[in-house]
Chain A
Amino acid sequence: MSEGALSAAAAVAPDRVTATASFWRALSAWRGWAAIAKWLGLVVLILTYVPLMWLAVMSFSGRPLSGIPYPLTLDHYASLLGDARWVEPFITSFVMGLIVAGACMVVATMVGRSIPRMRRPGGVLLIALTPLFVPGLTMGAALFIFIRTYLELRLGAWSIFVGHLVWALPFALLMVLVIATRFDHRLLEAAEDLGAKRWRRFWDIEFPIMRPAIIGAGLFGFLLSFNELLRSIFLRGSETTMPIFNWIMAASHQSQVPIIFSLATIVLAVTLPLMGGFFWVLFTRLDRS
């Protein structure tokens, strides 16, 4: 592949430089392309973060759906405090996130450390990663029809958990696999020769090496579950998670929108610095290793 690319470069070597070719050459050598590439991408990042800032600004506004934030007010925060409807969805989402995170850590570790030992892991890997290729809404609809109509079971928190696990586990598994595929199995053989039992070999050798990936798997599990909407909509039964609460409020009445603005602002004020700090440390450390 790379040799083909090299010979292609050789084939276009400069034995025939016509006028048009030199035009293209001058055009493509223009320094400005890099700046355009950079700024177009940054504009999309601005499109991501400016609305979030605007969300925070408007949560203090007396007229949250108008163009001007003034007059400023804390009314929406006051009505959020006086309104208990969001508390239960918040707790549901938080607990669900923790459970999904725990399940992701355990299952991804167990499966992730076993897959590299298989002779032909392709099939298992493909099945494990299938949910990445199915849209959330479709997976939610499929699980709904399967559980509710085919198996005729009652939906509830447990079916939301199933939906979230199916979504989050492939990511957790990929994280563990990144480290597990590089794991040197001679370490375990050495430990076995020295008389270490199975559990000791896992706990003293494999686990410390895989710890960053396991923590990452848990974090991804929590965050993906905490914000999951498309699958939860179908699998909720009579449960309500935070994203569902936000969605219902946003879709129903204009008058409910300010409450979501302030709720989302509080959640963002807590999670953005945490996520920013975590990923910053993760990526700068990855870069060094």
Chain B
Amino acid sequence: MRGWYSNFVSAGWVVPVFTVVWIGLVVVPLLIMVLFSFVEIRDYRVVYDLTLKNWESLIDSGRWISVVRTLRVTAVITLIEILVAFPFALWLAKGCKSKNVKAAIITLLTIPFFLDPSSRTIVWRAILGKSGIINTVFIELGLIDQPMEWLLFSEFAVHFGMIAPYFPTMVFPIYLVLTLIDDDYLQASQDLGASPLQTLIHIILPLALPGIVAGIVFTMVPLMAAFVEPGMLGGGFVNLLGESVEAALRNLKYPTAAALSAVVIALLAVLLTALVLILRRRGSLGAIFVTLKR
């Protein structure tokens, strides 16, 4: 028994077996999916003749509009998150002196990762809806006569509902990288006569770049296939890629779903490559791993 156990915890075979299994569970399905975007389904059977039909219908059916819309919404939300998260992370890492406040805020930022997406989204209907709390209060106060209909089932609602869920993924990487910046650098910059703005631009931003890029990646990845928020708050008016994939699979149009998903993967690959190239030019790709090791 002991002998079997000791073999079990030995290093030798674990990594190779894990790697093979993981390639089978992650990489192979993704490749098969890309392959599926080039096949057809006839009489409920997959016909393995390569064809561009699915991709052509993607363009003909106007689904590319939802691709563009997804990119636009992703870009807007990511931008909002950076603009709020970077200053907030800077304050949290360098400005917040109370350790308890810091721990409390980090706790509050961690919990949302584990909230049920449907229930935290559906409640916005009771807040933004025609007879929701905002419209009710505003009408009672006499500020408006008619309920504001654009609050719910609109692009505004989708954007608004997405701000909070995609915030922590942007804050955490930036916060981590900012805590690693030595306070002596900031002091030195100040002693040499730099204004806070100059310190920010010439010292903090370059050193924080890996964290900012990581934040962008981890925020964009789930945003590109966002599904619950546009579905529940868009009311059918804000069709994004995620919903199209789900609808295509529900209607058994597997190749269409595969093509749409392949678009998501391709767009992400392009964005990731671009970000890595930017990082490499700044010569700080290695810095991520150096900072990780500390």
Contacts and interface: CB of A to CB of B under 8 A. Distances in A.
Contacts of A283: 102-103, 106-107
Q: Give the one of B95, B117, B124, B199 with max A CB within 10 A.
A: B117
B275 to A, nearest CB: 11
A1 B105 CA distance: 30
A41 B92 contact: yes
Interface in B82-110: 84-85, 87-92, 95-96, 99-100, 102-110
A122 B165 CA distance: 31
A74 to B, nearest CB: 18
B83 to A, nearest CB: 8
B88 A38 contact: yes
Interface stretch (B51-59, B60-68, B254-262): B254-262
A257 B129 CA distance: 14
Contact of A145 (B111, B225, B257, B272): B257
B118 A246 contact: yes
B237 interface: no
B120 interface: yes
B23 A166 contact: no
Contacts of B257: 141, 145
Nearest to B112: A48
A8 B287 CA distance: 18
B46 interface: yes
A289 interface: no
A287 B26 contact: no
B123 interface: yes
A39 to B, nearest CB: 9
Interface string B179-220: 000100100110011111111101100110000000001100
A287 B102 contact: yes
A12 interface: yes
A276 B167 CA distance: 18
A131 B264 CA distance: 14
Contacts of A48: 108, 112, 164-165, 167
B6 interface: yes
A227 B117 CA distance: 8
Given A1-B283, A1-B284, A65-B125, A243 B118 contact: yes
B251 interface: no
A79 interface: no
A246 B87 CA distance: 35
B106 A135 contact: no
Contact of A137 (B46, B182, B227): B227
A111 B85 CA distance: 33
Contact of A135 (B33, B91, B122, B221): B221
Nearest to B195: A25
Contacts of B274: none
B29 A146 contact: yes
Interface in A127-168: 127-128, 130-139, 141-147, 149-150, 162, 165-166
A264 B115 CA distance: 10
Contacts of A138: 30, 33, 225, 245, 261, 264-265
Interface in B107-166: 107-127, 129, 131-137, 163-165
Contacts of A60: none
Contact of A276 (B11, B14, B107): B107
A54 to B, nearest CB: 6
Given A1-B283, A2-B185, A48-B167, A41 B32 contact: no
B198 A118 contact: no
Given A37-B95, A41-B88, A150-B32, A197 B6 contact: yes
Contacts of B27: 127, 130
Contacts of A124: 15, 18-19
Given A52-B120, A137-B246, A149-B46, A199 B164 contact: no
Given A145-B254, A234-B249, A66 B132 contact: yes
A126 to B, nearest CB: 10
Nearest to B265: A138
Contact of B206 (A1, A38, A275): A1
Interface in A1-58: 1-2, 4-6, 8-14, 24-25, 27-29, 33-34, 36-38, 40-42, 44-45, 47-49, 51-52, 54-55, 58
Given A135-B264, A280-B107, 7 more contacts: A5-B206, A37-B91, A41-B85, A48-B165, A139-B26, A141-B249, A279-B110
The 5 tightest CB contacts between A and B, nearest first, are A67-B136, A41-B88, A37-B87, A135-B225, A28-B197
